[in-house]
Amino acid sequence: MKQFLSVNDVLDISKLVESAKAYKKNPFKDPELGRNKTLGMLFLNPSMRTRLSTQVAAKRLGMEPVIFNIDKEGWQLEFEDGVIMDGNKSEHVKEAAAVMGMYFDIMAIRTFPGLKDREEDYQEKYISQFVKHAGVPIVSMESATLHPLQSLTDILTMSENFDFSSGRKPKVVMTWAPHKKALPQSVPNSFAQWTNAWGKANFVITHPEGGGYELDEKFTAGATIEYDQEKALEDADFIYVKSWSSYRDYGKINCTDPSWMMTADKLENTHQAKVMHCLPVRRNLVIGDNILDGNSSLVVEEAGNRVWAAQAVLAEILKNI
């Protein structure tokens, strides 16, 4: 693997999942793979899980991770081409990325969307400039439109929690939930893209009708869209809860209806569905206490799996440099 920006960089999803499972069984089996290699981890936005799990994964492969909170500790970067830099931006990404590429063997980057200009966000203006100018493999730690380390983790978590030998496909339902803040579409886009590419589930997406919550079909094509949440959840094996801002009416919060919150009573007509969420989650706004404190929730186990997904991805890239 030469980079990890989306599922399209993965040759064989099942193999990558198996590799993650092998690291889960034996975290220290490849201590030499990353020896004398440095991972630069750049944060333009906050993170807990991605930062810590990727750092732990890198160390277990013998790599040295270096963290740079560029949003707080670095010079403000200019990303526009051909501008006169007489404002508050001190350095252009062309130099900054090229210089960091001199220091690191692999670079991992977190950069959220602005949620103002859809075209700009969906062109992945920020991460793509690092890909262009850094000259080293780039790993997405959540970009403007995708979060592949999260999605690989989610596929791993589902594959561990379903008996595929039954011959039945799991029903996976991704349901929208309300939120106070306008959130990126990255996690749901990416979950849809990976679940479709994985091909081992019957995949349904449910969100309010009206308000433009339909996601980019580039990622969702193949999934069934069902606007009635109750109907969507029938016979579900996995319920993937996520809040996102409107895609069609870009970046807007057009629905705050609390009846979309995921609560324990909604599990009644499911196949004892397991509930997933990427975290951080706002309790009793997105998911109720009666799920998060009960045994249908997979959220902590899921977050724990982030380490193995990151280790599998870094290992694949290390084998190629």
- The residue at minimum Cβ distance from ligand CP is 50
Interacting partner of 45 out of ligand CP, ligand AN0, none (Cβ under 5 to 8 A depending on kind): none
CA distance 132 to 148: 19
Q: Which of 156, 276, 278, 286 binds ligand AN0 (CB under 6 A)?
A: 278
Residue 202: phi and psi, rounded to 5, are: -90, 120
Confirm or reject binding of residue 184 to ligand AN0 (CB under 6 A).
yes
Strand pairing report for 202-206 and 106-110? unpaired
**Which residue, among 190, 183, 182, 230, has the nearest Cα to 206 in the 3D structure?**
230
- Name the token pair of 101: 């590429």
Are 175 and 287 in contact, with CB atoms under 8 Å apart?
no
List the beta strands (DSSP E) in 49-184.
Answer: 64-68, 77-78, 91-92, 106-110, 138-140, 171-176
**Closest listed residue to residue 263, CA positions, set 154, 170, 177:** 177
Q: Which is nearer to ligand AN0, 142 or 302 (CB)?
A: 142
The helix/strand/coil state of 137 is coil
- Which is nearer to ligand AN0, 39 or 278 (by Cβ)? 278
Can you tell me the distance from the alpha carbon of 211 to that of 247, in angstroms, rounded to the nearest whole number?
9
Contact 186, 45 (CB under 8 A): no
Question: Which entry of ligand AN0, ligand CP, none binds 48, CB below 5 to 8 A by partner kind?
Answer: ligand CP
Instruction: State the minimum distance, in angstroms, from the CB of residue 271 to ligand AN0.
Output: 27
**Which of 108, 138, 173, 187 touches ligand AN0 (CB under 6 A)?**
187
Site for ligand CP in 134-153 (CB under 6 A): 142, 150
- Count interface residues toward ligand AN0 (CB under 6 A): 7
Binding mask 33-72 for ligand CP (x = CB under 6 A): --------------xxxxx---------------------
Query: Shortest gap between Cβ of 187 and ligand AN0 (angstroms)?
Result: 5
Binding footprint of ligand CP on the chain (CB under 6 A): 47-51, 142, 150, 278-280
